[in-house]
Amino acid sequence: MGRGCPTVQSTKAKCNTRSSTISELVAVDEMMAQILWTRLFMKAQGIEVSDNILYQDNKSAILLEKNGRTSSSKRTKHIEVRYYYVADRIEKGDPTVVWCLTDKMIADFLTKPLQGRMFIQFRDVLMGAVPMWFDVD
């Protein structure tokens, strides 16, 4: 499996949100099924996934994803309870949430129109032509 397998999805949002933090939380909630399915599929093939990392570039979203309602404030108390399913799965250790600089978010290659140096670097890393040139942590 090499250095891992990125999972990215780019779709129209299924609901309106009031901030980028909540948009990130909704997006992670929508991807959680794919993350869990992939882990179970790999396990059924006899390959144990030791570390399932979810890279996130929004620190407020990370707090909500890790702590759920306890990180909620006046500005986030309107969030539907179903989005705190993510906090339950993270607590169980299914994915690990890791903060990553926006400039180093490889998934942006598949969701944003990049140009020049960033396009070439991200393309080369995703194609396996070069090793990841940075430590994400």
SS3 10: coil
d(CA 13, CA 137): 28
Query: How many CB atoms sit inside 10 A of residue 77's CB?
Result: 8
Q: What is the dihedral of CA 87, 92, 98, 102, to 10 degrees?
A: -40
Spans of all domains in the chain = 20-100, 101-131
**So what's the pLDDT on residue 44?**
93
Q: What is the pLDDT of residues 27-74, one digit of tens each?
A: 888 888 888 888 889 889 998 887 788 888 888 888 877 776 665 666
Helix, coil or strand: residue 55: strand
- Which whole-number Å values give the CA distances from 32 to 21, 26, 76, 78, 122, in the listed order? 17, 10, 21, 21, 24
* Whole-structure pTM value: 0.69
Provide the pLDDT confidence category of residue 110 given band limits of 50, 70 and 90. Answer: confident
